[in-house]
Structure 1
Amino acid sequence: MSTEATVTFVGNATTLLRLGVFTLLTDPAFGPAGSRVYLGYGAWSRRLRDPAMAYPQLAKPDAVLLSHLHGDHFDRAARRAIPADMPIVTTPQAQRRLRRKRFEKTVGLPTWEAEEWRRDGQLLRITALPGRHGPGLVDRLLPDVMGSLLEWEVDGQRMLRLYVTGDTLYRPNLREIRDRCGEIDAMLIHLGGTRLLGLLLTMDGRQGADLTGLIRPRLTLPIHYDDYKVMKSPLSDYLGACRERSLDGVRPIGRGETVTLVPVA
């Protein structure tokens, strides 16, 4: 029985999480460099970098964790590759759309609600966390987005608490995540400083450092920062801002690299 936890970075926000006996695929996008994705309201973006691997090369996931339904998080290549009976955990808004597109096992979680799986004495719980994709009223024009808390237990003992931010902007009220959920062991943080029409739609380096300082995870792995043309804030912005604030535990992860998510001591 496996009691290891790892993450493999595929590209953009796509990762493969192996938490004991459970395997999750996050925000699947497998289109090659040069492919275009639709972002809504007539806006498109071109992919600049190939994913590290294709869907058939990955271990078969038990479920997909989808932070929101945007073209760079669930692209055409992913929709073709992922079986229609694959469970997908996402926002209620995305659930309604995906069920119309053949993915009938999609579960939509309102903020702070959870979905659980149990197998071989292990538990995986996914709780939907708050997130905002745009500033002010602009957020209402964009797809609903959620962060996710993944809690993995073995024989009733907590092994790991992982926060996947999703495409949220930094807001001070995200402090509620740590207040309600407790210490976060690891965080996958979505960065990139995505801009459309001059509006910031994902965290840039400064906002990413703000959130890292707010949540204070033991390990932070930055993703979602250079795959598409709309991303304007390179990884170096975030790493520099973290160094200026003496934030510990920040570790870049390369495409195709697998990193161990160290369980709680």
Structure 2
Amino acid sequence: MTTRRELFALSGAALVASAFPASAQDTAAPQGSVRITQIRNATLHVVYGGVRFLIDPMLSDRHAWPGFEGSVNSEERNPLVHLPMTKEEIIDADAVIVTHLHEDHWDEEARKVLPKTLPVFAQNDADAQTIRGQGFSDVRVLSATSSFKGVQLIKTDGRHGTEAHYAKIGKILGQVCGVVFKQAGAKTVYLAGDTIWQEDVAAALDAYRPDVAILNTGYALVVGIEGGIIMGTQDVLSVHRAAPEALLIGSHMEAVNHCTVSRADLRAFARANGFADKLRTPGDGETLIV
């Protein structure tokens, strides 16, 4: 029987069951590879070109705040699970990327414990102004030409739900973004952010042809409105069909009340639809080297 670790090796993605940072393992990784650690929900570490990025930090203790009002399972308290590593380990980064300001991507605890001098990238001037007002002194805005320490950080657009969602709760959903990481000699990584499959995602895949696409795949649901406000199984299938050679990494699952697709659900769907070899669903605290 092929083991889980052997499957990762065969597909070109290695699994490392350890927290970030891990300098010895980074040194051992192939040149040009990318180190991606799933922390919890959409919170990730991405080591790209030797630069350590912290993505969408939600650092509250388990059950610290109520479920999202008006969403499914709102009686559950968030976050649903504990952090898999210490906050000190999590905030040990060179820069932070905040794709949008919803509480499950940029919470009060993150704002409290992150060093106020740490560079923070926001999606637009309005978010940057808010973050500066929270005491952060080095806040930058993502764009088509932004970069950090030799790594291109290309802003991409997204849509946090369907037209029906925006007609009813558009002010709550607001604007969101994704990021493409690029550097000569390294694999291109597309972090889609809180979006469903739609024309902005298709355009990003076509324009940048990423080797790796990190997708928020928990299929979060709002009561009374059909469809998810982030990707579900069918959205992931659409991404695979648009970029069949890309390795897909599922994130934003099993950590907040309104997410309804689990890692097991997504893996089963991928097997049934013939792309299991192109999908990874790392558990909290697990690292992929791709």
- TM-score range for the pair, normalised by the shorter chain length: 0.7 to 0.9
1:63-78 aligned within 5 A: 63-78=95-110
The residue type equivalent to 1:125 in the other structure is Q
Query: Structure 2: any 5+ residue segments left out of the alignment?
Result: 1-25
Moved more, 66-75 or 192-201: 192-201
The aligned counterpart of 2:78 is 46
The aligned counterpart of 1:135 is 162
The aligned counterpart of 2:7 is none
The aligned counterpart of 2:4 is none
Structure 1 position 210 matched with structure 2 position 243: no
Structure 1 position 257 matched with structure 2 position 283: no
Return the alpha-carbon distance in structure 2 between the equivalents of residues 227 and 106 of structure 1: 27
The residue type equivalent to 2:215 in the other structure is I
Moved more, 223-232 or 165-174: 165-174
Aligned CA RMSD, in angstroms, stands at: 2.4
The aligned counterpart of 1:7 is 36
Candidates 226, 239, 242, aligned match of 2:254? 226
More helix by share: 2
The residue type equivalent to 1:27 in the other structure is D
Return the alpha-carbon distance in structure 1 between the equivalents of residues 195 and 188 of structure 2: 19
Moved more, 141-150 or 203-212: 203-212
Are 1:125 and 1:151, in contact at CA under 8 Å, matched by a contact in 2? yes
- Tell me how far 1:243 sits from its aligned partner: 2.2
SS class of match (1:206): helix
| Cα-to-partner distance string for 1:93-130 (whole Å, 9 max, x where unaligned) | 321211221123222235xx231123xxxx21110111
Structure 1 position 79 matched with structure 2 position 111: yes
TM-score where L is the length of structure 2? 0.78
| Cα-to-partner distance string for 1:22-56 (whole Å, 9 max, x where unaligned) | 11001111112211168589989522111211320
TM-score where L is the length of structure 1? 0.85
Candidates 55, 72, 79, aligned match of 1:26? 55
| Cα-to-partner distance string for 1:237-259 (whole Å, 9 max, x where unaligned) | 32233223312321221211111
More strand by share: 1
| Cα-to-partner distance string for 1:62-101 (whole Å, 9 max, x where unaligned) | 1111111110111111111111111111211321211221
Candidates 254, 268, 275, aligned match of 1:240? 268
Query: Structure 1: any 5+ residue segments left out of the alignment?
Result: none
Moved more, 13-22 or 159-168: 13-22
Are 1:39 and 1:71, in contact at CA under 8 Å, matched by a contact in 2? no
The aligned counterpart of 1:168 is 195
| Cα-to-partner distance string for 1:138-157 (whole Å, 9 max, x where unaligned) | 4332131101101133xxxx
| Structure with greater contact order relative to length (CA < 8 Å, sep ≥ 6) | 2
The aligned counterpart of 2:223 is 197
Moved more, 184-193 or 197-206: 197-206
Q: Identify if the C-alpha distance between structure 1 residues 190 and 242 changes in structure 2 by more than 3 Å, giving closer, same or farther.
A: same
- Tell me how far 1:180 sits from its aligned partner: 1.5
Structure 1 position 102 matched with structure 2 position 135: yes
Are 2:159 and 2:175, in contact at CA under 8 Å, matched by a contact in 1? yes
SS class of match (1:98): helix
| Number of matched pairs | 250
